Amino acid sequence: MHTEPLRVLAAMSGGVDSAVAAARAAEAGHDVTGVHLALSSNPQSFRTGARGCCTLEDSRDARRAADVIGIPFYVWDLAERFREDVVDDFVAEYAAGRTPNPCLRCNEKIKFAALLDRARALGFDAVCTGHYARVVELPDGSRELHRSADPAKDQSYVLGVLDEDQLAHSLFPLGDTPKEEVRAEAERRGLAVARKPDSHDICFIADGDTRAFLAERLGTEKGEIVDTEGNVLGEHEGAYAFTVGQRKGLRLGRPAADGKPRFVLDVSVVDNRVTVGPAEELDVNLLTGIKPRWCGSAPAAGSAGRYGAQLRAHGAEIPVSAELSADGGELTVRLESPARGIAPGQAVVLYDGTRVVGSATIASTGRTASPAPA
């Protein structure tokens, strides 16, 4: 718990959460400066309305909120860094047949790396955001990341890439507050964004059409859609546009023999082939994670432990056992109960109660005869 006043840089997206977070930081006595991140070199091309955090409208909303709060406000151009670390990474991951989480990558590379590094270089003590999560300071001065008090809005999953040093310079003033209370507080404070809808989807895809966005950058190449026995059921224009667990947009010519819907089971960019099958074929109970990052001290290399695991931004927590390889670079996760439609490229985030232990990028999934021991 920070008690003395800090120099705080408040990242203001133009939404209600970041505006109230900045207001709370200022009200707590901190010396707060607001900053809006310009993440597009051509913001008119990004979606308008309250669909993302990259529009001219959002920049203006953030500036108006800062004026109401009474804090200085700046716009920082991080468009090139965002393109390299988030957009290009997103395209490259899909090109390799994986399904990335760009919000998690943005938190890792932009908001809590590029932004925090620049803030500290300028003499700021901490970065403040409107994320729904809690940083808990222990008696020895170390920090832990915990779930928010409002489970429906908890965003600790996309913050699972933060390390202890980053947590020591992060403020999440909304972690103990339900979303509706935040909106009511925004109205009381006279913030015009009080009822602005939450952003959804991917901020840098203007119309929400991921397939068209990827086709424009990766081109098209006809390939086969097959069942698990290799029978050709249809064709597509690029395997990269599909993700494991997908049901819509397959455009198959004939229904399955059993009449049940079919889902994407595998995406092979090497031979440009998409394999589909019944929903039960999506069940996995074994994950391999790479590039682990720890929110605090790392587990001992070669050690195993029991945790809760979250596999999607708004997914339920699943009991698992997880083992870190001897070199500390790979995480083997065994699920007590099968999870459906988990794709390589997504993140697995481990929890101990409400505490975030760390995260890893899923490299592969599989099924074993016996799940993790109960």
Q: What is the pLDDT of residue 52?
A: 47
The model's pLDDT over 52-83, given as tens digits with 9 standing for 90+, comes to: 455 778 889 999 999 999 999 999 988 899 99
pLDDT of residue 33: 98
Give the model confidence (pLDDT) of 232-267 as tens digits: 888 888 888 888 888 887 878 666 777 788 899 988
Q: What average pLDDT does range 199-214 have in this prediction?
A: 78
Does the model's pTM come out above 0.95? no
Q: How far is CA 63 from CA 39, 311, 330, in A?
A: 16, 35, 44
128 as an active site residue: the answer is no
DSSP string of 48-108, one letter each residue: -SSS-S-SHHHHHHHHHHHHHHT--EEEEE-HHHHIIIIIHHHHHHHHTT----HHHHHII
- CB–CB of 12/73 below 8 Å? yes
Identify the three-state secondary structure at position 228.
coil
Of the candidates 53, 106, 128, 295, the residue annotated as catalytic is 106
pLDDT digit string (tens) for 284-316?
A: 999 999 999 999 888 888 888 999 999 988 889
Phi, psi dihedral angles at 117 (to 5 degrees): -60, -45
Domains along the sequence of the chain with CATH? 7-188 (3.40.50.620), 221-277 (2.30.30), 282-366 (2.40.30.10)
Token pair listed for 332: 């083997």
pLDDT in tens, 213-226: 888 888 888 999 98
Residue 57 buriedness (CB in 10 A; 0-12 / 13-18 / 19+) = middle
Distance CA(327)–CA(334), nearest Å, equals: 19
Active site residue 203: yes
| pLDDT one-digit tens code per residue, 135-167 | 999 999 889 999 999 888 999 999 999 999 999
Contacts of 78 (CB under 8 A, 6+ apart): 37, 38, 39, 110, 114, 115
Average pLDDT over residues 345-359: 95
pLDDT of residue 373: 54
Q: Which of 103, 128, 203, 295 is catalytic?
A: 203
